[in-house]
Amino acid sequence: MRTLNLGILAHVDAGKTSLTERLLYAAGVIDRLGSVDGGNTQTDTMALERQRGITIKAAVVSFVAHDTTINLIDTPGHPDFIAEVERVLNVLDGAVLVVSAVEGVQGQTRVLMRALQRLRIPTLIFINKLDRAGADPDRVLATIRRRLTPDIVPMGMGQGLGTAAAAFAPFGPDDKTFRDTLAECLAEHDEAVLAAYVDNRHLPYHRLRGALAQQSRAGRLHPVFMGSAISGAGVETLLSGIAELLPAPSAELEAPPSGRVFKVDRGPAGEKLAYVRMFAGALHNRERLQLRGEDAKITGVEVFERGAVVRRDRVVAGEIARLRGLDVRIGDSIGISPRPAAQHFAPPTLETLVVPVAAADRRALWTVLGQLAEQDPLINLRKDDTRQEIFVSLYGEVQKEVIEATLLTDYGLAVAFRETTMICVERPLGTGTAIEQIFKPPNPFLATVGIRVAPGPVGSGLDIRLEAMFGAMPVAFYEAIEAAIGETLRQGLMGWQVTDAIVSVTDAGHKAPMSAAGDFRNLTPLVLMEALRLAGTAVCEPIHNFLIDVPAEALAAALSVLARLDALPGQPVLEGVSYVVEGEIAAARVHELQQLLPGLTHGEGALETSFAGYRAVAGPVPTRRRSDNNPLNRKEYLLHVLRRVPTSVGET
């Protein structure tokens, strides 16, 4: 039987979790429907998810339909939890993007579709809520073509719109208009269909349908279905389309094992549970393997089967399993590394200080936040040991509220959040080189380290290169230098993480047998920060692309507000009775724009934003307090590292 790993994605409140519930019901996995409002859906299992009526964590559930085993992954729709979607994208075979027939394409819809297209993940679109007042699938289809992709194929039409009797009428082989439209769409992607289209030859319907399946599975065309997750209208047709039009890769059972961890959870006893998608081969219970260079042993294998989690002796290619006994991190490869896991969405742009209400809980808070960071690495814990302060990175206020509630409900820790700030980055402005040599003042360490820092391409991150002759000294010394570079550049000249930089190790030397890895680990930050000081850095703030849709009479006021917020708008475009304006705005000003827009447009304006990158700060340069040993201040650094200022060269 084929296995398909399917993601359900949507903007919040488009009906994604309700659709998941309806698919499970249609497949016979559940015998009664839960509801998001009722807090009793199959995939929203966290107490906070049930209370808030939103999905916070990705959840996996399996069912069988049309001779296909479907591992369905329900993902969060709220942008504050986009990191969950990020991890899921790397393990999908196909996706269903849910769009509301009332609200239409929203900000998160565009962000998700762009990521799906970049990865070429085959995607069906489901226009939900045909039974809601104001449902207008024709308008939504036009918006999808304009703002998401023109490569869509409507598979039917809605009937009884805005009523409880709303239904989906699929097009069939006897519908000449549909056959002609399908042939026209396929001709742009299929040479055989194009030749027949040019020769005015009519291909049989089964040939057209087969070509549609081929193009859909390749991610070139996106069939569009419609219906209502609440009433079930159109869901059976969608289910057939999922089995027919999305790919189920062949299982390479005889290949060496290859899988990826996309979720980490903890069991009742606090044990780690690793959610792994297998791409090839098989893993067996009690099997030993290498994980990040260390020996590891699987102590339990559980797979998802017909709505349940069942124990098995093994998990094979194509399946998703929950493995016990492994000390894993999200993104870890199991066995041979599968395709690289790329970052598809924006990093968090906010940082906040977390303070325990009871000072005695400070150590426990750090431990618990460390466990939460296992489940969501992008909260990016940062600790200032000197001031005993703990910082976390966030996407928004809802995520902050969820963390606060989780700490209190699950761990009994009451906390407060203070000093929420925008997260900036630093980029090198030029090239800087520094070196400290062994036995030469003022170097107190038994090591030689030379480093050059230069700008890298925008978006390239950190590129560490070893120019010093490899093999001239123990590998552990080079590893210590690399680790120290990565750790040190988490805080640049102004305290922000350094990115888009090429860091070259130009020289390295030691004195056997006296030198140790610690000498290189401790010397590297001093040399690196001196090279960075000579290169100089620019502090860059996060910026967002924005799109506002405002009534014609509100355009002037909207443009005035955008100017006041230092936004960079493009040329307004008239669409019907309203204007659409796209441009760039600092992430720090987005919330203010969100607050002002409804008043300017009497509630008729719409705003979409998405992360666009970073740009140099105009005006006063923001700084962040350091939480490391401050290698920019040599005396302070050596006091921390050596517990005293050395009095002789080579003293450690």
Examine the pLDDT at 204 and tell me if it is beyond 80.
yes
Measured distance CA(79)–CA(58) in Å, rounded: 13
Measured distance CA(456)–CA(111) in Å, rounded: 26
* Domains 350-423 and 542-616 fall in the same CATH topology: yes
Phi, psi of 233 (to 5 degrees): -60, 130
pLDDT value of position 526: 97
Q: Provide mean pLDDT across the span 631-642.
A: 91
**3-class DSSP state for residue 454?**
strand
Q: What is the per-residue pLDDT across 208-262, written as a single tens digit (0 to 9) for each? A: 899 999 999 999 999 999 999 999 999 999 999 999 999 877 767 778 888 888 8
Across the chain, what does the average pLDDT equal?
A: 86
Q: What is the per-residue pLDDT across 60-97, written as a single tens digit (0 to 9) for each? A: 888 888 888 899 988 776 666 666 777 788 888 999 99
Q: What is the per-residue pLDDT across 34-68, written as a single tens digit (0 to 9) for each? A: 555 455 454 544 555 455 555 666 788 888 888 88
Give the CATH number of domain 427-535+626-642: 3.30.230.10
Straight-line distance from the first to the last Cα atom of the chain, in angstroms, rounded to the nearest whole number: 64
Which fold is adopted by the domain 350-423?
A: Alpha-Beta Plaits (3.30.70)
Q: Provide mean pLDDT across the span 137-164.
A: 93
pTM for the predicted model, two decimal places:
0.73
Q: Provide mean pLDDT across the span 162-177.
A: 92
Amino acid, single-letter form, for residue 120: R
CA distances (Å), origin 232, targets 11, 25, 153, 421: 20, 9, 21, 45
Tokens 């917020």 appear where? 565
Domain ranges in the chain are: 2-172+216-245, 350-423, 427-535+626-642, 542-616
Measured distance CA(185)–CA(152) in Å, rounded: 8
Measured distance CA(366)–CA(373) in Å, rounded: 10
Architecture of domain 2-172+216-245: 3-Layer(aba) Sandwich (3.40)
User: What is 542-616's CATH number, 2.40.420.20, 3.40.1260.10, 3.40.50.300, 3.30.70.240?
Assistant: 3.30.70.240
Q: Count of alpha carbons within 13 Å of 123, Cβ hemisphere only?
A: 25
CA distances (Å), origin 154, targets 11, 216, 242, 390: 20, 13, 15, 51
Q: Confirm if 551 and 558 have CB atoms less than 8 A apart.
A: no
Q: Provide mean pLDDT across the span 8-32.
A: 84
Q: Provide mean pLDDT across the span 286-314.
A: 84
Measured distance CA(448)–CA(450) in Å, rounded: 7
Examine the pLDDT at 652 and tell me if it is beyond 50.
no
Q: Provide mean pLDDT across the span 595-614.
A: 83
98-112, 315-329, 394-408, 530-544: which has the minimum mean pLDDT?
A: 394-408
Chain-centroid distance of CA 485 in Å reads 25
Q: What is the per-residue pLDDT across 424-437, written as a single tens digit (0 to 9) for each? A: 999 999 999 999 99
DSSP 278-325: EEESEEETT-EEEETTEEEE--EEEEEETTEEEEESEEETT-EEEEES
Tokens 């630093």 appear where? 426
CA distances (Å), origin 180, targets 188, 200, 207, 241: 13, 11, 13, 20
Q: What is the per-residue pLDDT across 551-603, written as a single tens digit (0 to 9) for each? A: 899 999 999 999 999 999 999 998 878 898 999 999 888 888 888 888 888 87
